[in-house]
């Protein structure tokens, strides 16, 4: 099911008891973070919160603020219109199975055909609700970024940050669109930072504009169908359009309108559009920011976004999230991506049974993969494959276990890791790009990664003893005693 607007989604959350409405004024400076963090840290991710009167330096904002709207398994699934994220994963698998592709790219191309079948290609429309109110800069009384209830999230933050932006850019050579979620520090009413990290597609587009010495049109959307928000975070291969992906996920074509002051198309039904540009070469210090890693990321130079117009719909709701010590809302967003893209990983590595990125690892720090192992060193083949695939390149520790281990049970994986490895024989170090946010490597953006083969060792792997069996009860006895236990009230 597709949502007509972000507020439509919020209404649905409220109707199903997934949202708490807060009528009293609460400060965008630290206070909203504290209340949201309590929800995010409570079992299963707590509730979504709708602050009707967020305050900005003591003034009540003219826009309400919603936070933690995708911060549970159920809300994340509802955000993309399903009861369980696995429904989308299943559809993905059906598309991939229609005609077995032979490469990652071909798999995506095939998905593109699937989009067609599902009428998910975007449609151009002349106008839309996102333009109900238009503020061009320079006009008297126009809205500015200072009117949005942008959070100052943590005490050590360098300022206010827009935390759920969908950043639309275009490849100047091919015209291909990209949408990524890159946080934006508000410097003043009409300029922000643009935190696209060096490995991200926005940064690649920016570099091309810089080389061509051309001003780069950029549009930033907030709100709308939460499928757009999800698509902006999804680790799609460079060149695969997030708008197509959003259309596929929500099973409805995304309607696009052209911006008023820049040559970019955006979904017609988002809550806010920040239109503007990045002047390649212009950098400004951004940060610090209490980040996904649970630590503050340092001040660093990043491009600057200049606003030329701000448009919004009537009744717009400002969407926000906070990041910090896990688990946070982003865990559920990332987890949905892993579920949905698992069929693609399996297509490339048919031995993969399941994969999990536990919350403690904050996305890429820790990856658990279970495989059906057939030949020696297969675990290493899988690790190296993953390290070569898109944003999986950042995976700091990969632990490979056998198919009968539940990768979603961290304690079971740690048990296998400890029991089944000889540390020197069963580990490998590699060099790879590191996540820009990772403060541990000696230099930014590069580092070492480590893989553990915690699978049962095969004869060809230098192990010439007899591998023991796991201690397990006989199934017949289990069934019989389960009945006895019930009778005895055990």
Ligand X SMILES: Cc1cc2nc3c(=O)[nH]c(=O)nc-3n(C[C@H](O)[C@H](O)[C@H](O)COP(=O)(O)O)c2cc1C
Catalogue the active-site residues: 291
Sign for the CA dihedral angle at 229, 233, 238, 244 comes to negative
Token pair of 3, please? Answer: 């949502």
Strand partners, 22: 51
Shortest distance, CB of residue 260 to Mn ion, whole angstroms? 25
Segment near Mn ion (CB under 5 A); pick from 96-104, 201-209, 358-366, 454-462: 201-209
Of 373, 396, 389, the C-alpha closest to 453 is 373
Residue, CB closest to Mn ion: 201
Name the binder of 279 from ligand X, Mn ion, none, CB < 5-8 A by kind.
Answer: none
Closer residue to Mn ion in complex, CB, 49/333: 333
Tell me the helix, strand and coil percentages in the chain, rounded to 5.
Answer: 35, 25, 40
The residue whose two tokens read 């930033």 is: 220
Q: Contact at 8 Å (CB) between 308 and 276?
A: yes
Q: Which letter does DSSP use for residue 140 in this model? A: T
Closer residue to Mn ion in complex, CB, 206/326: 206
* Torsion-angle region of 463 (φ positive above 0: left; ψ -120 to 50: alpha; else: beta): beta
Closer residue to Mn ion in complex, CB, 246/413: 246
Closer residue to ligand X in complex, CB, 255/330: 330
Among 26, 89, 201, 382, binds Mn ion (CB under 5 A): 201
Name the binder of 333 from Mn ion, ligand X, none, CB < 5-8 A by kind.
Answer: ligand X
Q: Which residues sit at the interface with ligand X, rule CB under 6 A?
A: 163, 178, 180-183, 195-197, 200-202, 233-235, 321, 323, 330, 333, 391
Name the binder of 376 from Mn ion, ligand X, none, CB < 5-8 A by kind.
Answer: none
The per-residue DSSP string of 239-305 comes to: TS-HHHHHHHHHTSPPEEEE-SSSS-EEETT-SEEEEEEEEEEEEEEE--EE-TTSSEEPPEEEEEE
Shortest distance, CB of residue 200 to Mn ion, whole angstroms? 8
Shortest distance, CB of residue 181 to Mn ion, whole angstroms? 10
Shortest distance, CB of residue 266 to ligand X, whole angstroms? 15
DSSP H or E segment with residue 481: helix 475-488
Shortest distance, CB of residue 432 to ligand X, whole angstroms? 16
Among 72, 91, 178, 311, binds Mn ion (CB under 5 A): 178
Closer residue to Mn ion in complex, CB, 51/182: 182
The residue whose two tokens read 């400002």 is: 318
The torsion angle over the Cα atoms of residues 339, 40, 406 and 462, rounded to 10 degrees, is 90
Residues in contact with Mn ion by the rule CB under 5 A: 178, 201, 236
């Amino acid at each position: 099911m597709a949502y007509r607007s972000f507020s439509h989604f919020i209404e649905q959350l409220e109707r199903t008891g997934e949202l708490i409405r807060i009528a009293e004024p609460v400060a965008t400076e630290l206070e909203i973070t504290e209340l949201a963090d309590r929800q995010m840290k409570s079992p299963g991710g707590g509730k979504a919160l709708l602050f009707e009167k967020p305050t900005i330096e003591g003034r009540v904002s003219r826009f309400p603020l919603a936070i933690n709207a995708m911060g549970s398994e159920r809300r994340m699934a509802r955000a993309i219109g399903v009861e369980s994220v696995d429904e989308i994963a299943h559809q993905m698998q059906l598309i991939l199975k229609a005609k077995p592709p032979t490469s990652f790219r071909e798999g995506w191309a095939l998905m593109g055909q699937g989009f067609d079948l599902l009428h998910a290609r975007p449609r151009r429309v002349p106008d839309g609700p996102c333009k109900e109110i238009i503020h061009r800069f320079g006009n008297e009384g126009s809205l500015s970024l200072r009117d949005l209830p942008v959070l100052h999230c943590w005490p050590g933050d360098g300022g206010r940050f827009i935390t759920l932006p969908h950043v639309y850019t275009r490849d100047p050579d091919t015209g291909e669109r990209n949408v990524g979620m890159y946080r934006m520090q508000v410097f003043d009413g009409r300029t922000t930072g643009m935190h696209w990290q060096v490995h991200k597609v926005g940064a690649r587009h920016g570099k091309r504009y810089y080389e061509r010495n051309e001003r780069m049109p950029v549009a930033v959307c907030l709100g709308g169908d939460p499928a757009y928000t999800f698509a902006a975070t999804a680790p799609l291969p460079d060149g695969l359009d997030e708008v197509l992906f959003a259309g596929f996920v929500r099973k409805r074509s995304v309607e696009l309108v052209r911006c008023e002051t820049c040559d970019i198309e955006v979904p017609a039904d988002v809550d806010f559009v920040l239109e503007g540009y990045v002047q390649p070469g212009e950098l400004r210090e951004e940060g610090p920011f209490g980040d996904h890693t649970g630590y503050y990321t340092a001040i660093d130079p990043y491009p600057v976004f200049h606003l030329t117009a701000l448009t919004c719909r009537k009744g717009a709701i400002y969407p926000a999230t906070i990041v910090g010590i896990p688990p946070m809302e982003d865990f559920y967003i990332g987890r949905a991506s892993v579920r949905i893209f698992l069929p693609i990983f399996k297509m490339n590595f048919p031995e993969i049974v399941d994969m999990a990125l536990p919350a403690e690892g904050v996305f890429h720090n820790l990856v658990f993969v279970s495989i059906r192992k057939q030949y020696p060193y297969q675990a290493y083949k899988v690790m190296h494959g993953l390290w070569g695939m898109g944003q999986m390149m950042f995976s700091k520790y990969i632990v490979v276990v056998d198919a009968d281990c539940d990768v979603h049970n961290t304690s079971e994986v740690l048990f296998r890791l400890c029991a089944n490895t000889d540390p020197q024989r069963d580990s490998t170090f590699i060099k790879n790009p590191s996540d820009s946010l990772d403060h541990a490597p000696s230099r930014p953006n590069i580092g070492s990664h480590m893989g553990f083969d915690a699978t049962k060792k095969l004869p060809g792997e230098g192990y010439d003893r007899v591998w023991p069996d796991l201690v397990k009860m006989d199934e017949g006895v289990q069934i019989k005693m389960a009945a006895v236990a019930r009778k005895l009230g055990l």
